[in-house]
Amino acid sequence: MMPVPKTHRNRILAIAIAVAVVIAIVLVAVSYLTRDGADETTPVVTTDTVATETVAPDTSTAVALVAGIPQKGTVLGKAGTTVRLLQFEDFQCPVCKRYTDDALPALINEYVKPGLVRIDFRGLTFLGPDSEKALRIALAAGLQNRLWEVVGLFYENQGTENSGWVTDALIDRILGEVPGLDAAKVKVDAKSPAVTKQIAATQAEATALNVQGTPWFYVGVGFRPPYSISPLPLEPSAFRPALDGALKG
């Protein structure tokens, strides 16, 4: 092929670069301007999330509380949120139930729903066999991004410690209350090595972070390692200073 004259080539190059840069800038502008578009125009529908803004009248409080909020695994809240609240808990811990009843709804409404904070569930099993049985079901539901409904429902039905209250009938009832959940798959996944590994990883994380009981809370901001907070009493007002502070950076 005949070489193109240099001046002509330079002109083509300048035009091509200008076009490429303009296209890149347009892509940047579109990306930036549409970053929240999906959240504004659709009822929080993602490929792997429960996405029902409309809650059936007979839906339990636990299910209604998290309806329409994106979930992924153990995380409740919009991805890309830089502040996260890690909560270590045990399904048999009465104080965890009190926190779930008294503080969590306000935290979800004030911080998670507006996309300010993500809450990350960390389940421990130190109280006994019922803790582990419930946790396995919750984590298996997390594989379908429905963990938070199950967490709330277990606390709603919390029984006496290690009395065998996490019965198969209770599990069936709880799983039946979660919209869009494949209950049969949850029961299979609950016994899977993946769930066992997740439980062990959380235990190791709790040891590394020096978790001293449940519920135990940490706040993580961006890349920085999470730091422990001690919100007492377990009411929304005790969490607000830590979360507001984290949001300010």
Partner 1 sequence: MSDRLLRVALIVVCAAGIAVAAYLTYVHYQPEALICTGSGGCETVQDSNYAVLVGIPVAVLGLAVWIAALALTIWNTDLARTLTTALAIGSLTFTTYLVILQLFVLEAICPWCMANDVVLVPLFTMLALLRLRSAPDA
Least distance (Å) between residue 93 CB and partner 1: 25
**Number of residues near partner 1 (by CB under 8 A):** 38
Least distance (Å) between residue 23 CB and partner 1: 6
Four-CA torsion 207, 212, 218, 222, nearest 10 degrees: -20
Question: Contact between 19 and partner 1 (CB under 8 A)?
Answer: yes
20, 56, 95, 204: which one contacts partner 1 (CB under 8 A)? 20
Q: Quickly list H helices, the chain.
A: 6-33, 37-41, 61-66, 94-102, 104-107, 129-142, 147-156, 168-177, 183-189, 193-209, 236-247
Separation of alpha carbons 159 and 174, rounded Å = 14
Separation of alpha carbons 140 and 31, rounded Å = 34
Q: Can you name the residues that pair with 73 across neighbouring β-strands?
A: none
Burial tier of 39 (Cβ tally within 10 Å: 0-12, 13-18, 19+): middle
Two structure tokens written together for 152: 């709330």
60, 220, 236, 240: which one contacts partner 1 (CB under 8 A)? 220
Within residues 56-115, the interface with partner 1 by CB under 8 A covers 72, 75, 79-80, 82
Show the binding pattern over residues 28-67: x = contacts partner 1 (CB under 8 A), - = does not.
x-xx--xxxxxx------x-x-------------------
Closest CA to 134 of 101, 104, 107, 156: 156
184, 210, 212, 223: which one contacts partner 1 (CB under 8 A)? 223
Closest CA to 229 of 211, 217, 245, 244: 217
Separation of alpha carbons 77 and 82, rounded Å = 11
Question: Contact between 204 and partner 1 (CB under 8 A)?
Answer: no
Q: For residues 142 and 152, which CB has a smaller minimum distance to partner 1 in the complex? A: 142
Show the binding pattern over residues 135-174: x = contacts partner 1 (CB under 8 A), - = does not.
----------------------------------------
Q: Note the residues at the interface with partner 1 (CB under 8 A).
A: 1-6, 9, 12-13, 16-17, 19-21, 23-25, 27-28, 30-31, 34-39, 46, 48, 72, 75, 79-80, 82, 220-223
